Structure 1
Amino acid sequence: MHTDVLVYGFLLWTLVASRHGRAYDDMGFVRTNMTHFLVNRRPFSLNGFNAYWLMYVASFPEEGRIMVSSTFQEASTHGLTLARTWAFRDGGYRPLQRSPGVYDEDMFQVSYARLKGSMHEALLKRAVCGLDYVISEANKYGIYLVLSLANNFESFGGRTQYIQWARDEGRNLSSDDDFYRDEVVKRFYKNHVTTQMAFLQSWIQSHVEDADAVLRKPLLISEFGKSSRLSNCRGDEEAALYTTVYDAIYASARGGGPCRGGIFWHLLSGAQEIEGLRDGYEVVFSESPSLGQIISNQSHRISNLNGGSETKKQLRPALQSGN
């Protein structure tokens, strides 16, 4: 990262909510109608955060899952309703996809262990792993998910890893741009996406056709933030950046425009520290209460656009019931 300000705008690719728990069985996909997101056929705007590391950290059953759960809890407390995270990790250490079409069970799937006892020989204990734990916790706190299926960072696979896999099979490829041209590379990636979709179908119980319209979604400002490493005045400048972005989003959403939400980069929990996740852009609410207030205020404004207390009741019954 070579700049101290990070602002990107992308079209939303896929926006989902978990259906593991009873509390959110009616959430399903956030749908679209022209430049509007829709929930239960009503216009819907969002305020969210990036946490690319959720699946990877959740693969560590003890300290990792504490951090994932506390992050969702803190996000919900600040009114955030959307998390954007990586649903891929190609090759390397603790990968989701070890090689084309070969997956790590601990990172991807839900496993079950049979417990034996005098009265409960058929009792099954659910051990939620990796990505599935993230989805389960998002459901618990009423937070929608944007699941990214690839990226361009070599450290986490992405295009470079697919190119290398194809070269290992004898393909003569000159650059990472062959990701879009070479039939073998495209087949690897399409097969990966097919496997991902099969997994999603097992817990979303919704129509795969919803993904067909991923390129025609409303606009989200999907990454924005201020680096503490390249600026001596992060506090004031960071507050100004967030306020500027949030005001633009709110003005568009309130006026019926296409910009319907923002996802800052990136949220970390103050309850548990995992080495290597701080990049200068991290937001830790316990360390930045003034920024946390700015984020909460935006969540409140967006909630009011969505119907205020009625929307909160719809999205967060699990918090009220203790589930």
Structure 2
Amino acid sequence: MGDMMCPLTATAWSTTTPRISLLSYVLLGVASSTMSTEQEADDEWAAVERRGAHLVMAAAERPFVIHGFNTYWLMSFAADEATRPRVTAAIAEAAGAGLNVCRTWAFNDGGYRALQTAPFCYDEEVFRALDFVVSEARRHKMRLILALCNNWEDYGGKTQYVSWGKEAGVDLTSDDDFFSDPTLKSYYKAFVEAVVTRINTITNVAYKDDPTILAWELINEPRCSSDPSGDMLQAWIEEMASYVKSIDPLHLVEIGVEGYYGPSTPELLLVNPDDYSGHVGTDFIRNHQALGIDLASVHIYSDTWLPDSIEENHLQFVNTWMQQHIDDAANLLGMPIVIGEFGLSVKDGKFDSEFRETFMQTVYNNFLSPWERGMIGGGCLLWQLFPEGAEHMDDGYAVIFANSPSTFNLLSNHSRKLES
């Protein structure tokens, strides 16, 4: 499948010196007053930066607020000519509703249409599909949060890394060895380097230099249940955040955690949806104190976290969960908050689409109030938005605008509030 990039040995980990960008000159006040129209357009599309608990488009000196969505399969669909048009449709429809950030997978480890076919081996054809996703996002003025791995087996994830390690003769006992074994960490670092330093074959811009990319996400929903103390995952976060920053000092970095409170804040364990979630090896406050982490990551899935289907209980949970995390992100961590996933399934009949919209509005309202007071920046990303023709991928959470004009209006209204 495609041309394989597969060096015999791992590439050396080397830091790169960031080039002095046009933005740097602007900030130093030495930019040419005869800047071309093209340069001005580049200035408008400069990288989003973090300033304390807020995000800004520094070149334009404007706040940047995330109003986003998830469509995880964009790279996979772009790898097939038959489904590639749905990538453009997904991004274009979201832009039409005023959304400005898409979170999607920049990984596919082993299996069908894999980007990483084996450690240190990457399929050029699939990489070109990711190039297409990035270029289409740029064309529609859509920023990207690109996730680099998965805690779960979907699209390979840490389970695939462990399988590769065992095939290489490494003595491994569980999937959690992903976070501690030197060999597996070398596989991950090599993959991260391949993605971050990739030069887009369509735009000819290196990913690490492309302001289309808002942030790198280390791993989707990491958990390390074999070490409830959180020490193992914490060490991995610190190592990998530092590594990503060493090869890409331009972009923001987030972890991808669900936001469970852990041992470092025992007084907040009761905020978690259940007792189990405080013992899965994650720790919201401690995790986000790691150097190199810029955004506080939180997910919201009360429909699977809570045992009942009493609507008021779910709304109350959303209120409590968000308000606590927003307060902690602003006052303890001093960083923007990103509700990286939030959604509600209508698949099993527990909830209907009308309540899903109430749920969504509750999430938006909880962010809007502190944002309007200047307390916090960041934003929210709906799980998940699909174009027509992708219904077979629906896990019960998919919003398809063609079938749900009221949800389109809800998202558009939220866009207008953020712009006012």
Question: How high is the TM-score relative to the length of structure 1?
Answer: 0.76
Q: Give the whole-Å Cα distance in 2 for the aligned partners of 1:216 and 1:233.
A: 35
Give the aligned residue type for 1:25: D
CA 1:106 to 1:223, structure 2 compared with 1: closer, same or farther past 3 Å? Answer: same
Residue equivalent to 2:378: 260
Letter in 2 for 1:42: R
Contact 2:338 2:378 in 1 (8 A): yes
Structure-2 change in CA distance of 1:233 and 1:179 (3 Å): closer
Cα drift, residue 259 of structure 1: 4.6
- In structure 2, the gaps of 5 or more residues are 1-37, 200-204, 211-246, 255-292, 296-335
Matched residue, 2:250: 210
CA RMSD between the two structures: 1.9
Runs of 4+ displaced beyond 6 Å: none
Give the drift of 1:140.
Answer: 1.0
Deviation at 1:137, TM superposition (A): 0.8
The 1:187–1:203 alpha-carbon spacing in structure 2 relative to 1, beyond 3 Å, is closer
Using the alignment, how far apart are the partners of 1:194 and 1:286 within structure 2? 39
Higher strand share: 1
Q: Which structure is richer in relative contact order (CA contacts within 8 A, separation 6 or more)? A: 1
Per-residue deviation at 1:64? 1.4
1:44 paired residue number = 64
Pick one of 332, 339, 361 that aligns with 1:221: 339
Match of 1:119 in 2: none
Shift in CA distance, 213/137, structure 1 to aligned 2, threshold 3 Å: closer
The structural deviation recorded for 1:205 is: 3.0
Partner amino acid for 2:67? N
Q: Which amino acid aligns with 1:191?
A: A
Q: Deviations over 1:72-96 (max 9, x none)?
A: 1111110000000000000000000
Q: Structure 1 CA distance, aligned partners of 2:253 and 2:140?
A: 27
The change in CA–CA distance for 1:210 and 1:104 in structure 2 (over 3 A counts) is same
For residues 140-176 of structure 1, the C-alpha deviation after alignment (integer angstroms, 9 at most, x for no partner) is 1100000000012213111111111111111111111
Give the drift of 1:232.
5.0
Q: Secondary structure at the match of 1:256?
A: coil
SS of the counterpart of 2:144? Answer: strand
What is the Cα deviation at residue 274 of structure 1?
Answer: 3.6
1:27-59 deviations in Å (ceiling 9; x for gaps): 242110111111124321120100000000011
1:66 shift after superposition: 1.1
Aligned pair count reads 260
CA distance in 2, matches of 1:72, 1:177: 35
Hey, what's the Cα distance between the residues in 1 that align with 2:349 and 2:377?
29
* Counterpart residue number, 2:197: 198
| Unmatched tracts of structure 1, length 5 or more | 1-21, 109-128, 305-323
Residue type of the alignment partner of 1:246? Y
For residue 294 of structure 1, the aligned residue among 410, 413, 416 is 410
2:80 to 53, 57, 60: 60
Shift of the 24–219 alpha-carbon distance from structure 1 to 2, 3 Å rule, reads farther
